[in-house]
Amino acid sequence: MSFWQLDSRCVAILRYLADSEDTLSIQEISRFFNVSVRSVYYDLNKINDWLLTQYVSAILVERNRGVYVTKIQSEKIKDLLKSSENTAYYVLSPKERHRIQICALLSSGHTIFVEHLSHLCSISRNTMFNDLKIVREKLARYGLNLTFETQKGYEVKGAIFQQRAVFLYYFSPLISLLENNQLSTLDALPFYNRESIDHYVKILQNIENQLDTTYVEGMILSLATLIYVITKRNGHIDLSDIDAKDILQTKEFQMVESLLSELPEYEQIYIAMHLLGSRVQINTIYDAKNEKPFLYTVASQLVKEFEILACLEFDDRDQLISLIANHLSMSIYRYKFGIQIGNPLMADIMASYSDLFELTVKASKVLKDSLKMPIPDFEIAYITMHLGGYLHKKNHLQRNFQVLIVCPNGISTASILRGEIEALHPNLKIMAIVGIDGMKPYLDECDFIISTVDLNAPIPVIKVKPIITEDDRLRILSRIVKNDQVKKIQNGITLDTVLGIVSNYVTSDSYEKVKKDLSQLFNPTHSCENNIKENSIRLVDVLFEHRIKIVDRMDSWENAITVATQPLLLENTVDTSYVEAMIAGVHRYGPYIVIGEDVALAHALPQDGV
């Protein structure tokens, strides 16, 4: 049976109705397929026209009741659907629609109107007009202006490099949809021509093989698609900030020049920059020294935003700000040109530090607003690592284990690794963080080495993953216990055995102190945990019954904060300036106090009146 009259959404609706045993309202169908009620009625008309050509009675739509398919109709429809070779209809989320619309607007080589955009996403004109409002706002964040003229249709105006950076930013999440053929309008996408893009993919894979390197997942398809877009659109990209002489000498440029000779030289340089910048370790080409005062301010704003969201203050705040500003100075040219370097640890970071990553995503909004550039998740993952490295710098006793960290993965990885190791045991002292070639000066004074790579060294080496696992932590603690400075008594003597002897010679008061000291000697992990717990203040430590107020309803969130703070005001734990600071913070920074569904943790800084 032929399905040429029906598009994929109509086929999907028909399957949905045939599988349902209940009457479905038009609104239910509308919500399920994320389309307007009007679109549902329109699709049902098309479905009924088609059913009549297949000698199946039309589906009845009863006012105030909905749509119901009889058992006989359902069986006939299912038989017809079995012979269909159509792919399953995929319902695009609003975010996916916006990504497709933005990429289409930034890549089209001809006039583009609302009808074309609505067809790409299989939505109504009204829904498309609503989407365009959001798309216009998103583009404006990056200094791009969406315009409309009767004869020319929609057009994005702004710097070409900015347009390309934004295109790559929004294209990357679409890759899985393209590869899995989940878009019924794939052939209509102005930025995707399978034959042409496959051609450029093969060229880039050839370059990858010749250079004996591996580019991050998805990078080759993204760049191949961008090359296809470049060949369709006329536009000169400004590379005045780039020292082209250095790039012209690279193997990457020479291969691009040879294999993509149809492109002008400035485009070949631009493509070579992407190939150079897609390696995790790369010498910075863009000179950002004039940007450093500005970047320091931006980094300071980011750290401030993170502190507000996380309800904390960093001890070494200035050092952290300088570290992030330095990272931004090395990364800003990548942001500017949309270069994707990837982060090999991103999946681990998002899994092991999901809360920290989400906070960093929210705090990084200040980067997008200040730099007017899209900040990809892999860059936010690097910033997460910097912040994570400074979260465990409190509550340590005197350290007396000399440890050398060998980590060639870069300062971002080393920063979070250092924080994890220092938080593991109170007596660890990190001598330095070095590459493989920098170990020698430290070997005489070092107790052991913690390394992310295989090493040959005259002292013990513990190899760990850049994001250390529980197994890594146990092996580090095991090495500490074996060290001469803190050594378990051998020959089967246990802590209980020693305490049994000691109890005969000390008073009951002294016994508890001796027991605590010996417990620290026999179990450094427990000692570290107790030390952190004793010196940390948790919510449960301050949330007493007399400080809790239960109110059914409040007329405003400002009043809710004021009422919730009354018990603290009565006991002089805070003063009224703290209440004012909490309310002012929300007015200034937005709803940062909302930490979950229906949960808000109102707070300000300690100096605001605690």
Q: What residue type is assigned to position 210 of the chain?
A: Q
N-term to C-term CA, the chain:
75
**Residue 1 lies inside a defined structural domain of this protein:** no
Residue 589: closest CA among 354, 191, 309? 309
Taken in order 89, 94, 98, 99, the sign of the CA dihedral is negative
CATH number of the domain to which 166 belongs: 1.10.10.10
CB atoms within 10 A of CB 21: 8
Our measurement of the distance from residue 22's CA atom to the centroid of its chain's CA atoms, rounded to an integer in Å, reads 41
Q: Are 413 and 466 in contact (CB under 8 A)?
A: yes
Is 502 within a domain?
yes
Residues 504 and 582 in one domain: no
What are the pLDDT digits (tens) for 170-212?
A: 998 888 788 767 777 888 899 999 899 999 999 999 998 998 8
Query: CA angle at residue 408 from 404 to 412, to 5 degrees?
Result: 90
Spatial CA neighbour of 262 closest among 296, 232, 302? 232
The 10 Å Cβ neighbour count of residue 43 is 22
Task: With respect to residue 490, please indicate whether it lies within any of the assigned structural domains.
Answer: no
Q: pLDDT, tens digit, for every residue of 440-469? A: 899 888 889 998 888 888 888 888 877 676
- One domain for residues 327 and 346: yes
| 499 and 476 together in one domain | no
pLDDT at 291: 62
Is position 587 within any domain? yes
Q: DSSP string of 437-455?
A: GG-GGGTTT-SEEEESS--
Domain contains 561: yes
Between the alpha carbon of residue 179 and those of residues 184, 222, 268, the distances in Å are 12, 12, 27
- C-alpha span between 146 and 101 (Å, rounded): 12
Is 283 inside any structural domain? no
| Pair 169, 241 in one domain | no
Structural contact between residues 60 and 72, judged by C-beta atoms closer than 8 angstroms: no
pTM: 0.57
63-103 confidence digits (pLDDT tens): 667 888 888 888 888 888 775 554 555 677 788 899 999 99
pLDDT score, position 287: 44
Positive/negative CA dihedral, 391, 394, 396, 402: positive
Is 181 in the same domain as 239?
no
Query: 3-12, 153-162, 317-326, 531-540: which range is least confident on average?
Result: 531-540
pLDDT digits (tens, 9 = 90+) for 506-550: 666 666 666 666 665 555 444 444 444 455 566 767 778 888 888
Identify whether residues 414 and 500 lie together within a single domain. no
Are 592 and 586 in contact by the 8 Å Cβ rule? The answer is: yes
Token readout for 241 is 């900030």
Per-residue pLDDT band for 300 (boundaries 50, 70, 90) equals very high
- Could you say which of 33, 55, 82 is where a domain stops? 82
Q: How many CB atoms lie within 10 A of CB 505?
A: 9
Strands (E), 116-176: 145-149, 153-157
Tell me which residue range forms the domain holding 19: 8-82
Average pLDDT for 158-175: 89
Q: Which residues pair with 154 in a beta bridge?
A: 148
Q: Answer yes or no: do 183 and 198 share one domain.
A: no
Residue 489 lies in a domain: no
**Distance of CA 406 to CAs 230, 348, 426, 465, Å?**
43, 20, 20, 12
- Do residue 180 and residue 198 come from a single domain? no
CATH number reported for the structural domain that contains residue 327 in this entry: 1.10.1790.10
Domain total for the chain? 7
579 plus 550 within the same structural domain = yes
* 73 and 102 both lie in a single domain: no
Instruction: Tell me: pLDDT of 260 over 70.
Output: yes
Do residue 321 and residue 343 come from a single domain? Answer: yes
Tell me which of 288-297, 324-333, 511-520, 546-555 is least confident.
Answer: 511-520
Beta bridge partners of 480: none
Choose the final residue of a domain: 37, 58, 82. 82
Whole-angstrom Cα Rg for the chain: 31
Q: Rounded to 5 degrees, what are φ and ψ at 167?
A: -60, -50
Q: How far is CA 291 from CA 324, 371, 534, in A?
A: 13, 11, 44
Is the model's pLDDT at 486 over the cut of 90?
no
- Which CATH number characterizes residue 561's domain? 3.40.930.10
The answer to whether residue 488 sits within a structural domain is no
- Pull the structure tokens for residue 377: 């998740």
Q: Are residues 336 and 417 in the same domain?
A: no
Given 59, 82, 105, the domain boundary residue is 82
